[in-house]
Structure 1
Amino acid sequence: MEFLKTCVLRRKACTMVCFRRSQAVPKPSVRKISTTSPRNTVMPAWVIDKYGKNEVLRFTQDMMIPIIHYPNEVIIKVHAASVNPIDVNMRSGYGAAALNMKRDPLHIKAKGEEFPLTLGRDVSGVVMECGLDVKYFKPGDEVWAAVPPWKQGTLSEFVVVSGNEVSHKPKSLTHTQAASLPYVALTAWSAINKVGGLNDNNCTGKRVLILGASGGVGTFAIQVMKAWDAHVTAVCSQDASELVRKLGADDIIDYKSGNVEEQLKSLKRFDFILDNVGGSTETWALNFLKKWSGATYVTLVTPFLLNVDRLGIADGMLQTGVTVGSKTLKHFWQGVHYRWAFFMPSGPYLDDIAKLVDAGKIQPVIEKTFPFSKVPEAFLKVERGHARGKTVINVI
């Protein structure tokens, strides 16, 4: 409810959006009868029945078509989806303990298992059915969304999502293009805007460093920071330098050509660092922030899900809290802010991102597309790493 109130207050200038979001409070045990219900009861999908390597991916034509259980839900016919690193990690069991805690018991078998589990976070498609409380969408609307990792995914013919997670697709994009953006865009938006506190009113002239700049999150982050008139330094490999320069990066550091720390020493210090890499970067990256000026380092690589997998829910959350608390305090006394950021599903944030897209300030960066029949190949490509944008699946 607090999240919902915040969304409404921030968007009070737009009556229509406020009205839409105010309708999104779940009310259990209410079902909406479809006005455009699919005739079949089963659909094609890519699922897993256990965690493991790529061979656990299984194509089926007998996955049950999702139905609406709550009046704020929407069923989308999937036109395009994409594969993110989190999908590869989830295939292998990453975060299962924490995610099962969040999963809706209505979508889990009585024996308590999440299988068969459909992966895929991004969707661009057409609304097929709306719950009774959904007023902002109607059947036939072209929409896009990022589905939270605790819900059934988008590598299927249909997917059900909360109306508050959906947004009207940017008019300037095809479904294939639109499916490349939601998950990475919302992850970057969370880090930059919601955690980092940057926006189009306070970014002009700010010096920003993006570590891991050529992947999906990095390529979006470059563009949104340039749309807000920041000065962007991108760290990537030499073969990705042309891409990130075209997206607007002012300075480019090739991490393969020498020690990144040494290369950064020749540049002025930064107001904001976005870290998509993690690992050893934390040991030196914060040294390149401006001290005692409100400069902030935000990392998207956190041990929360790993801690819960390894230690259990209670001990994992405790360990995570101790870790983030100690690091935050340590760096605060050194004159900089240390923060963690996570993906946040949000239709209102996608509304804002869609405006930037349709204004020509954000463009999708797609490295490769695959047909629906080649989902395992798409997973292998993402698993190899070194992304130059997104990997998209054309479902229809």
Structure 2
Amino acid sequence: MNHTLAWRLVSGVKINHLCTPRIAIPSKAVTGSQQVREFSTSYKRSTVMPAWVIDKYGSNEVLRLNNNTEFPIIHYPNEVIVKINATSLNPIDVNMRNGYGSASLNMSRDPLNVKTTGCEFPLVLGRDLSGVVMECGLNVRYFKPGDQVWGAVPPWKQGTLAEFVVASGNEISMKPKSLSHTEAASLPYVTLTAWAALVNSCRLNKQKCPGKRILIIGASGGVGTAAIQLLKAWGGHVTAVCSEDAFSLIKDIGADEVIDYKAEKLEEQLKSKQPFDVILDNVGGTTEKLALQFLKPWSGATYVTLVTPFLYNNDRLGIADGMMRTGVTLSSKVVKHLCKGVHYRWGFFSPSGQSLDEIGLLVENGQIRPVIDEIFPFSEVPKAFSKVEKGHARGKTVIRVTESSK
């Protein structure tokens, strides 16, 4: 195979290297000062990479380490290729392994439905990333090769349980310098989920949060620990609901009051508290009906749950009927609770490099710190899935993809 020595223009930075161009397009006849401009390039040794993939949905047995996974390619000018140093697992990764949400996610991957069934396989799971930018699309202006970044990619894209991943420049941010890659990988997905619920759904921010009383149900998991720290950084009063064995952790990250939901009926314990301005529910189910009665009525108080039937309805009924059923469910609950003087909302993860910029400042100021339950090497990804699947998390489960964790 012939190799080409070429200047590669990436975000205004020229890199001279020996490469095998995937697509090399001279602007016209190449003269003395003209250069070959490449849309995407990879080294010969990097045409494949190791990644954990699934070829069908199912239990942990479907996870497979494939050392010959195709190297990712930049398809759009706002994309970057990131070499992943560390990633982490979230409950959504376990659910996606089982096939949850496949109808909706496949619609996002193939809106016109022109591909065959099963075209998403081999599928790489994982949402969080912390690593180093290796290549940038032509429109990327805020990053360059060599930048250390963190971020979270949306569920309809190939994930981060791999050596490299393609992400939009809008989905990543500069990694906080105070964090190692292992620490940084634990934060993006959960902090962005908490951010979306509190900021987008409840309209909280550092100006509006001081003096507000917030109840967090399911506080010891990744989203719960992130939400507590975010709210305390903004001056809110946080009451956290978790089991007694997580009390020390929850108090250490700043919760003002902690309730053990196992000690006695949660309803009885909440009756002794003042009404809340915001309730963030990470558990769902019976807690939804229970919690809503403890909001301050006719004061703009909001209940937001992260447990919604949206993806389940689409999986069970199909996209059209599922979305109709979901719309009816949401609108009926919104109207029902609005008549009682409180707002009812659903919260969803939303990738945002801009939000991560603000979260990164809080990290650098010591107001948000990683809460890591356990770290696994890349070779033990199935064990990490088993741990997350058991539930009762005390922070995040992190995967160290490369040997370096700095």
Instruction: Check whether TM > 0.5.
Output: yes
2:187 to 160, 181, 186: 181
Map of 2:363 onto structure 1: 357
Letter in 1 for 2:330: V
Name the structure 1 match of 2:233: 227
The DSSP-based 3-state class of the residue aligned with 1:264 is: helix
2:148 equivalent to 1:151: no
1:39 is paired with a residue whose SS is helix
Report deviation, 1:40: 2.0
CA-to-aligned-CA distance 1:319-373 (integer Å, 9 cap, x gap): 0000000000000000000000100011101111111111110000000000000
- Looking at structure 2, the residues matched to 91 and 298 of structure 1 have their Cα atoms a distance apart, in angstroms, of 26
Runs of 4+ with deviation above 3 angstroms: 30-39, 108-112
Matched to 1:357, the amino acid is V
Asked whether 1:192 is paired with 2:192, we answer no
Residues 135 and 377 of structure 1: CA distance in aligned 2, closer, same or farther (over 3 Å)? same
Query: Do the aligned residues in 2 keep the contact of 1:32 with 1:130 (CA within 8 Å)?
Result: no
- The verdict on how the C-alpha distance between 1:105 and 1:297 changes in structure 2, with shifts beyond 3 A counting, is closer
Per-residue CA shift, 1:110-165, capped at 9, x if unaligned?
Answer: 66521000000000000000000001100000001101000000000000011111
Describe how 1:7-86 pairs up with structure 2 within 5 A: 33-34=39-40, 37=43, 39-86=45-92
Structure with the higher strand share, 1 or 2: 2
What is the identity, as a one-letter code, of the residue corresponding to 1:319?
A: R
* C-alpha distance in structure 1 between counterparts of 2:160 and 2:297, whole Å: 43
What letter corresponds to residue 375 of structure 1 in structure 2? V
Partners in 2 of 1:86 and 1:223 — Cα distance? 22
1:162 pairs with 2:174: no
Residue type at the aligned position of 1:298: V
| Structure 2 match to 1:383 | 389
Pair 1:240 & 2:246 matched: yes
Q: Indicate the SS of the match to 2:216.
A: strand
SS of equivalent residue, structure 1 residue 156: coil
User: Relative to structure 1, is the Cα distance of residues 125 and 268 closer, same or farther in structure 2, using a 3 angstrom cutoff?
Assistant: same
Task: State the number of aligned residues.
Answer: 366
In structure 1, distance between residues paired with 2:46 and 2:178: 32
For residue 260 of structure 2, the aligned residue among 216, 237, 254 is 254
Is 1:339 aligned to 2:328, yes or no?
A: no
Q: How far 1:205 moved relative to its partner?
A: 1.0
SS at match of 2:77: coil
Looking at structure 2, the residues matched to 98 and 314 of structure 1 have their Cα atoms a distance apart, in angstroms, of 10
Counterpart in 2 of 1:327?
333
CA distance in 1, matches of 2:111, 2:163: 22
TM-superposed deviation, 1:256: 1.0
Q: In 2, distance between residues paired with 1:172 and 1:152? A: 28
2:284 to 258, 262, 278: 278
Q: Which amino acid aligns with 2:352?
A: S
Deviations 1:243-276 (CA, angstroms, capped at 9, x unpaired): 0000111111001111111001011000000000
- Matched-pair contact (CA < 8 Å) for 1:211–1:275: yes
Match of 2:309 among 299, 303, 312: 303
AA matched with 1:334: K
TM-score in terms of structure 2 length:
0.88
Match 2:209 to one of 203, 217, 232: 203
Q: 1:264 aligns with which of 262, 267, 270?
A: 270
Alignment of 1:95-174 (within 5 A): 95-103=101-109, 113-174=119-180
Change (3 A) 1:372 1:267: same
TM-superposed CA distance for 1:39, in Å, is 3.3
Give the C-alpha shift of residue 171 in structure 1: 1.0
Question: Pairwise CA RMSD of aligned residues?
Answer: 1.7
State whether residues 32 and 132 of structure 1, in contact with CA within 8 Å, keep that contact through their aligned partners in structure 2: no
Does residue 393 (structure 1) correspond to residue 399 (structure 2)? The answer is: yes
SS at match of 1:164: coil
Q: Find the structure with the greater CA-based Rg.
A: 2
CA distance in 2, matches of 1:199, 1:38: 48
Q: Give the corresponding residue for 1:89.
A: 95
CA gap 1:300/1:277 in 2 versus in 1, 3 angstroms: same
Percentage identity across paired residues of the two chains:
69
- Within a 5 Å distance, the mapping from 1:362-377 to structure 2 comes to 362-377=368-383
Change (3 A) 1:112 1:229: same
**Counterpart residue type for residue 360 of structure 2:** A
Hey, what's the Cα distance between the residues in 2 that align with 1:327 and 1:144? 37
SS in 2 for 1:45: strand
- Code of the residue aligned with 1:312 in structure 2: it is G
Tell me the CA shift for residue 33 of structure 1.
Answer: 3.3
Q: Which residue of 1 aligns with 2:9?
A: none
Residue aligned with 1:268, SS: coil
Distance 1:110 1:286, change over 3 A: closer
Structure 1 residue matching 2:170: 3-state secondary structure: helix
Structure 2 spans left out of the alignment, 5+ residues: 1-24, 26-36
TM-aligned CA distance change 1:201 to 1:46, over 3 Å: same
How far 1:105 sits from its partner (Å)? Answer: 8.0
CA 1:64/1:105 → structure 2, altered by over 3 Å: closer, same or farther? Answer: farther
Rounded Cα–Cα distance in structure 2 between residues aligned with 1:95 and 1:370: 26
Q: 1:293 aligns with which of 284, 291, 299?
A: 299
- The structure whose residues are more often helix, as a share, is 1
